[in-house]
Chains A and B, each alone.
Chain A
Amino acid sequence: GENVEQHPSTLSVQEGDSAVIKCTYSDSASNYFPWYKQELGKRPQLIIDIRSNVGEKKDQRIAVTLNKTAKHFSLHITETQPEDSAVYFCAASTLGAQKLVFGQGTRLTINP
């Protein structure tokens, strides 16, 4: 079955700098790649997603890139702010938005 590896497990950046989180997946049939942000004690919130027919997607300060050949995708956050501090999870699925397989998570800390 699908396996998703996420790196790094922790990331600390200065406010205003950029943060990049990377994920690799094993199943070349995967076609949907969402990113979730989870603040302490809260539910995971979808922040951006990308489908296999697109190489890049951007929403304000957040962007996701997908390399199907290498089977990896990345989350890019620019101009980081303290409220970006959270745990971020990537996921992949071969069935669209069903049966998501999650990465291990990245704890992002933004230092003021």
Chain B
Amino acid sequence: SAVISQKPSRDICQRGTSLTIQCQVDSQVTMMFWYRQQPGQSLTLIATANQGSEATYESGFVIDKFPISRPNLTFSTLTVSNMSPEDSSIYLCSVEVHGLAGGGDTQYFGPGTRLTVL
């Protein structure tokens, strides 16, 4: 597995402002992912962050709203820009971990950042 941390764990922000969420993993990983989990809902993939290339965004998510950085193999940031109350969600990063001894790859999640926009 992998040890994944996120900062901040929670925040309350005013509409119109931006928040940058950090994700740190204890080992080098190629693929990192950012998800959104709206209150009481399932997880939705925002984008895939591959080190050394631009992030790939899923339908309904755009770079201007959710810019992502991936400066190295252990770190990524997600910025939620020009926030509105509809952006209130839990934002989770995850990493793909390659299996050992022929085992398949798996995906592990960070603890999440609970964002409330007033």
Main secondary structure of the interface of B (DSSP, over half): strand
Looking at chain A, what size class is its interface with the partner chain?
Answer: 20 to 34
- Contact status A44-B109, CB under 8 Å: yes
Q: Please judge, given known A-B contacts A89-B43, A98-B31, A104-B42, whether A43 and B109 are in contact too, CB under 8 Å.
A: yes
Contact with A along B43-59 (1 / 0, CB 8 A): 11100100000000001
Whole-angstrom CA separation of A42 from B111 in the bound complex: 6
Closest chain B CB from A91 CB (angstroms): 8
A58 proximal to B (CB < 8 A): no
B96 proximal to A (CB < 8 A): yes
A100 proximal to B (CB < 8 A): yes
| Inter-chain contacts of B96 with A (CB < 8 A) | 96-98
- Contact status B45-A100, CB under 8 Å: yes
Closest chain B CB from A55 CB (angstroms): 15
A102 proximal to B (CB < 8 A): yes
- Contact status B107-A97, CB under 8 Å: yes
- Contact status A46-B106, CB under 8 Å: yes
- Contact status A43-B43, CB under 8 Å: no
Closest to A36 in B: B109
Contact with B along A43-84 (1 / 0, CB 8 A): 111100101000000000000000000000000000000000
Whole-angstrom CA separation of A97 from B106 in the bound complex: 5
| Inter-chain contacts of A98 with B (CB < 8 A) | 31, 33, 48, 96, 105, 107
| Inter-chain contacts of A49 with B (CB < 8 A) | 104, 106
6 closest A-B pairs by CB: A97-B105, A43-B109, A102-B42, A102-B43, A97-B107, A43-B111
On B, residues with C-beta under 8 Å from A are: 31, 33, 41-45, 48, 59, 92, 96-97, 104-112
